[in-house]
Amino acid sequence: MGAAITKLVTALVTDLIMPIIGAVIPGGDWRAATLSLGNIKFLVGDFTGNLIDFIIIALVIFMIVKAIVKEKK
């Protein structure tokens, strides 16, 4: 069940939320955004996408657990 929720949330973020963010942020493909410090490049855009995925998955799981606990009472 966790894998199914993860796939669903990843699709939601990738296909719905991120295009909206991409339209707001100028420069096109924001997932390719990097931060360079000397010879080191940090993939800031990819990290941001993964962070949003994690937050939404955690929120969905929290709401499911909260509903289960409420039903048991």
Q: At what angle do helices 44-72 and 2-12 cross, to 10 degrees?
A: 130
User: How many angstroms separate the CA atoms of 3 and 17, rounded?
Assistant: 20
The whole-model pTM stands at 0.62
Flag whether pLDDT at 69 surpasses 90. yes
What pLDDT, on a 0 to 100 scale, did the predictor assign at position 28?
A: 64
Flag whether pLDDT at 66 surpasses 90. yes
User: How many angstroms separate the CA atoms of 14 and 18, rounded?
Assistant: 5
What pLDDT, on a 0 to 100 scale, did the predictor assign at position 49?
A: 77
User: How many angstroms separate the CA atoms of 14 and 71, rounded?
Assistant: 32
What pLDDT, on a 0 to 100 scale, did the predictor assign at position 14?
A: 78
The DSSP symbol for 19 reads H
pLDDT tens-digit readout, 4-60: 777 887 788 778 877 787 777 766 667 777 888 988 888 888 888 788 778 887 888
